[in-house]
Amino acid sequence: MLDDRKLTVLRAIVEEFVSTNEPVGSKALADRHALGVSSATIRNDMMSLEEEGYLAQPHTSAGRVPTDKGYRLFVDRLSAVKPLSGAERRAIETFLSGAIDLDEIVMRTVRLLSLLTQQVAVVQYPSLTKSSVKHVELVPLAPRRVMMVVITNTGRVEQRVIEVPEEAEESAVDHVRTMLNTAVVGRWLNDVPEAVDQLPAQVEPSERPLLSAVLSVLLETLVERNEEKIVLGGTANLAADDFSSNLRDLLEALEEHVVLIRLLGEAGDPSMLTVRIGAENPHEGFQTTSIVSAGYGVGDSSLARLGVVGPTRMDYPGTMGAVRAVARYVGQILAQQ
């Protein structure tokens, strides 16, 4: 266990290296940080930190840089996540509150996170497996054509045009719409097939072709759209010295959305903030990165996760504060949908 002085030295080295991207020497620490000890004492502490695996020395004559183990201890011992300023909080709220639907909420969130952190932002759409039906609308377009719109409690909107085998009276469309909403509103999407199973036996023979066509497309839509979907933003932020040696590998890894979703973590407690550093990321393409993520949702229910991917040399307090704040605001906006 490190004593308080060594922890203070490690914290100063991390902050200095994040700021300058240059190996940190004892003299620089003594000059720029009020550590209250001599350069010789700092140098001895740095040697001890290196021996214990918290620091590394890139070159014989160079200063030290934090290792993944050093960053992990720094993050675990953070006394507080950096709070956003009042202006930043108002800007987040204003930027996100103008979104009119889930797609726009997600796109605005990606842009906002990448701007706030200067990293690659990743936002997972609310999973359909964690969504329930809010409303089903049927809109007659022609005598044998109807548009179906399915709206979930998480703001996802699925829209399909249905070809009906026989002409459907407007009254029949109204009746089928009413029956369908009575059966499925408030149901988890996984439970919809069971909820509608007996509906064909409950309508007049003249309405069965319409109902059968609607149910067929509805169930097909739930199967087709039950994928986990994520959106990326700010990949231009990767054009930095930190990734010069493995940029290609990282870009290829970012294209593997299934891997990204796994790295973001399970959508558990919405308030839980997760930080994966370097080799803690099992996928080789992400082992020079850190991933900071948080769940977002409505109330105590987490629907999905969002976060950022950046170098291990990142401003952890600021990044963690931004990710947590944005996740909280997204949840508040979804609650209003």
Three-state secondary structure along 186-197? Answer: CCEHHHHHHHHC
Task: Give the contacts of 93 (CB within 8 A, at least 6 positions apart).
Answer: 329
Q: Residue 246's CB: how many other CB atoms inside 10 A? A: 17
Domain topology for 4-76: Arc Repressor Mutant, subunit A (1.10.10)
pLDDT of residue 215 exceeding 90: yes
Q: Residue 163's CB: how many other CB atoms inside 10 A? A: 10
Q: Residue 50's CB: how many other CB atoms inside 10 A? A: 15
Share of residues in the chain with pLDDT > 90 (%): 40
Largest CA-CA distance found in the chain, in angstroms, rounded: 92
Signed CA dihedral, 318, 320, 323, 324: sign only? negative
**32-36, 105-109, 202-206: least confident range:** 32-36
pLDDT at 266: 59
pLDDT band at 324 (very low <50, low <70, confident <90, very high): very high
pLDDT of residue 268 exceeding 60: no
Signed CA dihedral, 175, 177, 178, 184: sign only? positive
HSE-CB at 108 with a 13 A cutoff on CA atoms is: 20
pLDDT band at 54 (very low <50, low <70, confident <90, very high): very high
pLDDT band at 241 (very low <50, low <70, confident <90, very high): low
Which residue matches tokens 């109902």? 211
Whether residue 151 contacts residue 140, with contact meaning beta carbons closer than 8 Å, is answered with: no
Of 3.40.50.300, 1.10.3720.10, 3.30.390.60, 1.10.357.10, the CATH number of 129-224 is: 3.30.390.60
In tens, the pLDDT along 157-198 reads: 888 999 998 888 889 999 999 999 999 999 988 889 999 998
The rounded distance, in Å, linking the Cα atoms of 337 and 325 is 19
In tens, the pLDDT along 109-140 reads: 999 999 999 999 999 988 766 778 899 999 99
Higher pLDDT, 61 or 152: 152
Mean pLDDT of 318-331: 92
Whether residue 8 contacts residue 35, with contact meaning beta carbons closer than 8 Å, is answered with: yes
Domain locations in the chain as residue ranges: 4-76, 86-127+228-335, 129-224
Whether residue 84 contacts residue 92, with contact meaning beta carbons closer than 8 Å, is answered with: yes
pLDDT of residue 88 exceeding 80: yes
Whether residue 74 contacts residue 11, with contact meaning beta carbons closer than 8 Å, is answered with: yes
> What is the average pLDDT value for the chain, to the nearest integer?
86
pLDDT at 270: 57
pLDDT of residue 247 exceeding 80: no
Q: What architecture (CATH level 2) is domain 86-127+228-335? A: 2-Layer Sandwich (3.30)
pTM: 0.77
pLDDT at 337: 64
Whether residue 168 contacts residue 140, with contact meaning beta carbons closer than 8 Å, is answered with: yes
In tens, the pLDDT along 251-262 reads: 888 888 778 888
Task: Give the contacts of 22 (CB within 8 A, at least 6 positions apart).
Answer: 63
